[in-house]
Amino acid sequence: MTGEIDYHVGKRLRRRRRLLGLTQQSLGEMVGIRFQQIQKYECGANRISAARLFELSEALSVPIQYFYEGLSERNDTIQDAPEFIAPDVLSKKETMDLVRAYYSMEEGPRKHLLDLAKSLQTEAEQAGLRLIAATT
């Protein structure tokens, strides 16, 4: 029987696989299992053994701790905090495409894009504050 931790590890597995642009089939081949097993791991239906987790971490070039990151903070997150990101945002294809495009750039353009995004965020936050002030 699987639980919340298995589900979290599976989501982290899916996120990393997608970030690298791998299919379930190709990841399965890398570790010697069928893609259906990868599917079961990713949805949390099957628990990943320690040996298999090690193989997956090697195939995905991440330390084993990667799969557990954020697990202890998940229950402590306050959803209306300014830094909150909805958990499903990081598993969306659009987000992974954006991250891949961002890291395919040289450092200079990446910095400019990040500065632009931050300035747009600040403008949006200020516009929200002006709207609140106008209605009160």
For position 67, what pLDDT does the model report? 95
CA distance 119 to 81: 19
Contact indicator for 77, 84 with CB cutoff of 8 Å: yes
All structural domains of the chain, each given as residue ranges with its CATH number in brackets, are: 4-78 (1.10.260.40)
- Looking at residue 130, its amino acid is R
For position 81, what pLDDT does the model report? 42
CA distance 11 to 41: 9
Give 72 or 63, the one with higher predicted confidence.
63
Q: Is the pLDDT of residue 63 over 60?
A: yes
